[in-house]
Amino acid sequence: MTGLPQQLLKGIRVNAVAGQRPVHIDGHTTVPALLRARCQENGAATAHREKDLGIWQAYSWTDYLTHARHIGLGLRALGLQRGDVISILSEDNKEWMYCDMAAQCMGAVSSGVYTTDSASQLAYLVNDSGSKFLFVENEEQLDKFLEVADQMPSLVKVIIFDPEGLHDFAHPKCLFLSDLYDLGRRHDDEALFNAEIDATKAGDLAVLIYTSGTTGQPKGVMLTQENILAGMEASLYGLPFEKRAEQLCFLPLCHILERIVSLYTPLIVSSTVNFAESPETVFDNLREVSPHGFVAVPRVWEKVYSRVTIMAQEATLIGRWAFGQAVKAGRARAEYTIEGRPVPALVALRYRIWDALVLANLRRLLGMDRLKQGLTGAAPISPDLLRWYHAIGVPLYEGWGMSETTGVGSINLPRANKAGSIGQPVPGIQLRIAPDGEIQLRGLNVFSGYLNKPDKTAEAFTDDGWMRTGDVGRIDNQGFVTITGRMKDIIITAGGKNVTPAEIESRLKFSPFISDAVVIGDRRKYLTCLIMIDQENVEKFAQDNKVPFGDFRSLCRAQPVVDLIRREVEAVNKEFARVEQIKDFRLIDVLLTAEDEELTATMKLKRATVEKRHKALIDAMY
């Protein structure tokens, strides 16, 4: 390497100062080169596990590289060239991983498509990225392709992972993954494969991440090899686990968060990835795997919390009492640990007793007994929830990143933590607050632009080369950053007052009964709000308070439920100025799923779509 000073961080050699060119991990400057090195180094050790007919099956690092090579060479035989794009439409599984890596090894670009996307959205993504190959998981996803097959001229071949139910199926453009493996084996040529890996340069485009697009069409974020390596280098500083650590992969790999956590992080520390069977079985899988590291969105952490609370309420009298005492002891200690202060002996002792009696069992029950620290990101989380996790002995920290910054940006760490903030900028990243309050970033992890959208790319950067995050926030004297809103979402009421809805919305979301909210009021006389209730907790409330309800709609219409939400809204109103008061609200009485256009893949409400779809509800409030 060049003459930059080096350091060994957690056993990994990196530049002594983060964020400098050439970014490398153990001397490798691209993902495929690092993959090859790790696979050779770890050989027969387990790289990932996946359930087959209910039994966890292990796959070695050698398997990993071999599969990637066969797919890569198979694609090459079908006409893949450097710089081509492949799209992957599948739930998380090992094949997803192989295809992503195969593409990168061959100098191609990989792009993920959410399984919840519709056929027309698939067509848009394939066409926008100009994909030459499309990988589909099974017949369900295949049908999406078939529905719009004639609208995607760039596609050469479609490869199907799972042949179940398709034995009579034949289509000139389609083949099964097993056929592709055969093709790759017939054209197997390690020297050629290695040459392709070596030909990849740091500046090459590696992946496309389509942003959920809360407004307008999704935009393809172009990330280079260097962007990803810089993201990996930055995350190494906050990484809580070591070699052979167990991880659980369950969020969509199309999303930058899971992509960096489950595909690229294991390449840094040679950890083992376990693929959850399905989004519904995450909690069971969590218990089975008991990972050392667990990164999830606030929704998941909230679910775990709700489950435990409900379990505790339904326990015996003694059980309830003990749980209450244990959490109390945990909270007392969390007061200190959360800020990294030393814990007084008595508080520590009391915690240790309750930990042995109750909390350790609870963590085992949840599958968090080996978890040194949890990480949450992609949406704001309630500081109360953070404290609760600290109390039960699962130190949970909040981080922040965007697709445009390869998923890393700022993070709270055990030694530097401030609940409610998104933490300090990660090493190698510069962060500033513009005069208008916008958070702006600079670093090697910052993307090179949006595909096919030079105007959007231009908008994303300032004249002096800083990236506009679009988030409004502040930074305190210790360097902790707090996000207060989105630039675009600033509401100007008819009275001319500027309001950042995100601040109010995230306060609302901290209520256990509110899953998401959209504040409305642009060019209106006053502010109102559409609220999506948290089904589980509100149902529990209704049951406990003998509120009869049938389906979700009648639950939303039940007067006690409306009153409950009104109390929550009023509580939030107290924290805001007079112009920021929510005068009225409506509940969205349809149970939205990820397939619905109103929601992003991370289950956040899309402002523009919600405003359009529920116009009648909104108009009723004015």
Q: Residues interacting with other proteins, by CB under 8 A?
A: 138-140, 142-143, 146-147, 149, 165, 168-169, 539, 542-543, 546-554, 590-591, 593, 595
Asked if 234 and 9 touch (Cβ cutoff 8 Å), the reply is no
Is-contact 11 245, C-beta < 8 A? Answer: no
Q: Nearest to residue 586, comparing CAs of 531, 517, 514?
A: 531
State the pairing for strand pair 205-210/246-249: unpaired
**Minimum distance from residue 76 beta carbon to other proteins (Å):** 29
Minimum Å gap between C-beta 143 and other proteins is 5
Longest CA–CA span in the chain (Å) reads 73
Closest approach of other proteins to the CB of residue 90, in Å: 14
State which residue, 497 or 540, has the beta carbon closest to other proteins.
540
Min separation Cβ 314 and other proteins, Å: 9
Alpha-carbon gap, residue 195 to 517, rounded angstroms: 52
Nearer to other proteins, 143 or 563 (CB): 143
Q: How far apart are CA 16 and CA 8, in angstroms?
A: 8
CB of 150 to other proteins, least distance (A): 11
Q: Which amino acid is at 587?
A: L
Shortest distance in whole angstroms from residue 552 CB to other proteins? 7
Q: How many CA atoms lie within 13 A of 614 on its CB side?
A: 28
CB of 554 to other proteins, least distance (A): 7
As measured in angstroms, the least distance from the Cβ of 4 to other proteins is: 51
* C-beta of 149 vs 434, nearer to other proteins: 149
Instruction: Measure the CA–CA gap between 512 and 384, rounded to whole angstroms.
Output: 11
Smallest distance, other proteins to C-beta of residue 558, A: 9
Q: Which is nearer to other proteins, 348 or 601 (CB)?
A: 601
Separation CA 297–CA 374 (nearest Å):
11
**What tokens does 364 get?**
């085992």
The residue (of 268 and 558) whose beta carbon lies closer to other proteins is 558
Question: Between 173 and 524, whose beta carbon lies closer to other proteins?
Answer: 173
The DSSP secondary-structure symbol of 217 reads S
What is the rounded CA–CA span in Å between residue 385 and residue 568? 17
Q: Which is nearer to other proteins, 54 or 550 (CB)?
A: 550
- Cβ atoms 241, 295 nearer than 8 A: no
Distance between CA atoms of residues 81 and 85, nearest Å: 9
Based on the number of CB atoms within 10 Å of its own CB, is 322 exposed (0-12), middle (13-18) or buried (19 or more)?
middle
Nearer to other proteins, 139 or 335 (CB): 139
Q: How far is the C-alpha of 547 from the C-alpha of 541, rounded, in Å? A: 8
For other proteins, the closer of residues 138 and 528 by Cβ is 138
Please state the φ and ψ torsions of residue 350, each to the nearest 5 degrees.
-60, -40
Q: How far is CA 352 from CA 64, 290, 330, 356, in A?
A: 42, 21, 9, 6
Cα–Cα distance between 306 and 287 in angstroms, integer? Answer: 17
> How many CA atoms lie within 13 Å of 276's alpha carbon, on the beta-carbon side?
23
Three-state secondary-structure class, residue 565: helix
Q: What's the min distance (Å) between Cβ of 172 and other proteins?
A: 14
**Residue whose CB is less far from other proteins, 237 or 283:** 283
Q: How many CB atoms lie within 10 A of CB 434?
A: 14
